[in-house]
A and B are shown apart, each in its own frame.
Chain A
Amino acid sequence: MTVTTRETSSESRKTGAASSRTRRRRLASWKAFLYVVPALAFSLTFLIVPTLQTAWYSLYDWNGLSAATWVGFSNYLDIFQDEQLRDSFLHVGTLVVFYSFVPIAIALLLTMVISRAHALRGMSFFRTVLFLPQVIASVVVATTWLSIYSPNGMLNTALRAIGLDSLTRVWLGDFTTALVSVGFVGTWLNVGLCLVLFLSGVGNVQPELFEAARLDGANSFQEFFGITLPALRGQIVVALTLTVVSSLKTFDLVYITTRGGPGNSTSVPAYEAYSRAFNSGQVGSAASVAVVLTLGILIITALIGRLQPKETE
């Protein structure tokens, strides 16, 4: 398509009559540019330029008020050397497991058992309920779990009711359980998302494939690894991207439930970047955390994207 038009335009340039056509095309091109100028202006002013500035800020020591001092890459060295910062990046590793790996594993296992759920009555009800946590404001989700984990909250009350008093504790205030408790909220959030995604993917598989497999005497394991899992590759990539990125970006939940505490046990990079920039006057250090976090997200998104099958259905 483009090749032919290019040929015609280069041919037409030779003839005199066509010079006005070229001019008209240039005018059209200029007019078309006007359609995207407002959007481009928004993007540059509020996203792109500030992102570049973040990289610039990260090379300075600045408290947000007085003059900044050039420190080169020392803010980045701090990320490895400062225990608080290093821990915040390590905590993300735990969160990825809870936000991404656990929900995807559970959802895949369930998909194996209920691979034909999409054909059942009432599926739209279940889909609505399973997906519901996704649309609730993260701040509301956070206050909900704050209340569930509280000393006399739903969790401890339930444990006492079944005689497990010894297990009750201040879940978010305990060094050993705080990070896992935050992570579990992510599992709760994402299991439904993954399940809805995988069930819809299985729904796209031709039923004849399953029937043929059954006629050949395949058991449900063989059916799952032979048909379902390969068919779900695209959905698994989407689920991985969504859940891993959301775990890396965890902020609202930590801000509301623990503020990084107790001690430093639930701090995450997004929270460190915020609190250093806007509470403790370490803007340069905050910017370096933001840069590393952003690069991490971009690289991981790109790596996961490479798993995407070429032909998506």
Chain B
Amino acid sequence: MKISIGEKLVTYLVLGIFAAIALIPLLGVVVTAVTPSGGSGGFHIPDTIDLGNFVEAWNRGHFANYLLSSVIVTITVVVVTTVLSVLAGFAFARLRFFGSNIVFFVILAGLLLPAEAFIIPLYYNLRSAHVTDTYWALILPQIAQSLAFGIFWMRNQFMSFPGEVIEAARLDGATDLRTLWQIVVPPSTPSIMTMCLLISMWTWNEFLIPLVMVSRDELRTAPLGLAFFQGQHATDYSLLAAAGIIIAAPIVVLYFFLQRRFISGMLGGISSR
């Protein structure tokens, strides 16, 4: 299909304008972050680039500590969710068992419930179990939330897996578990990777659960740390911008390398709900 030069120009112009709208606030953050802090104030293009804000934010804001918490929580949530989603997704897609519809519906409810629906009693339940103010209070509820998405995602993946291959493995005497790990999982790795990426992003960026569940400084995750830092340095925008970049960077870097997966996963996962 031929596209006229005029149409091309208009298209690039429109895309360019909206790309700029998306980027300008973010570029503003980068500019603010390298503007020497504590000057006359106000947004301006600085004469000198000052990376000292990153050092200062890092040291004053305990961000090494917050990032470590985020890494611990994110990795645990992703690993546990992946294993359990693969198992359950396989059962829902390929095994028949009593009550599978009801169980699937219960787990699916987790996709629709907003965190506000359960966070208040969950806090009191976990507090009486002496779990609040530990990593577990951050990890366990987020596994539960991620599982809803993960199981749905893996079930769709496994349902499109050719049934004859599974039947053949069964006829050869392979157990279900063996069939799953040796026949079904290896070719599904790309889809499992996409799921891991999305769950990493959601867990890394989560704010409400850490806000409610922990009060000890060393347990704070990166976004909670930033909110706390903002409370202390409310108008030092250079420091805040530097801290924001530190927190957003890991996911943004992943995104630039794997943008196709992020976009197709987020749009595909949601539209198939």
Complex Cα spacing A36 to B29, Å: 45
Q: Which residues of B contact A (CB under 8 A)?
A: 1, 3, 7-8, 10-12, 14-15, 18-19, 21-23, 25-26, 28-29, 32, 41-44, 84-85, 87-88, 90-92, 95-100, 103, 106-107, 109-110, 112-125, 140-141, 143-145, 147-148, 151, 176, 201, 204-205, 207-208, 211-212, 222-224, 226-227, 230, 235, 237, 240-241, 243-245, 247-248, 251-252, 255-256, 259-260, 262-263, 266-267, 270-271
Pick the 7 closest A-B CB pairs, nearest first.
Answer: A152-B42, A53-B121, A35-B91, A50-B118, A46-B144, A32-B95, A32-B97
| A residues in contact with B244, CB < 8 Å | 139-140, 143-144
What is the minimal beta-carbon distance from B90 to any residue of chain A, in angstroms? 6
Partner of B95, one of A35, A110, A235: A35
Residue pair A47, B43 in contact (C-beta under 8 Å): no
Question: How many positions in chain A have a CB within 8 Å of any CB in the partner chain?
Answer: 102
Residue pair B223, A32 in contact (C-beta under 8 Å): no
Complex Cα spacing A130 to B19, Å: 5
Complex Cα spacing A145 to B230, Å: 13
| B residues in contact with A138, CB < 8 Å | 205, 207, 223
Complex Cα spacing A38 to B143, Å: 11
| B residues in contact with A245, CB < 8 Å | 114
Name B144's closest neighbour in chain A (CB-CB). A46
What is the minimal beta-carbon distance from B256 to any residue of chain A, in angstroms? 7
Name B267's closest neighbour in chain A (CB-CB). A197
Name B11's closest neighbour in chain A (CB-CB). A114
| A residues in contact with B3, CB < 8 Å | 116, 119-120
Residue pair A130, B117 in contact (C-beta under 8 Å): no
| B residues in contact with A301, CB < 8 Å | 112
Partner of B32, one of A51, A54, A147: A147
Residue pair A153, B95 in contact (C-beta under 8 Å): no
Q: Which residues of A contact B (CB under 8 A)?
A: 28-33, 35-36, 38-40, 42-51, 53-54, 56-57, 64, 110, 113-114, 116-117, 119-120, 122-124, 126-140, 143-148, 150, 152-154, 157, 188, 191-192, 195-197, 200, 207, 210-211, 234-235, 238, 241-242, 245, 248-249, 251-252, 255-256, 269-270, 273-274, 277-278, 283, 286-287, 289-291, 293-294, 297-298, 301, 312
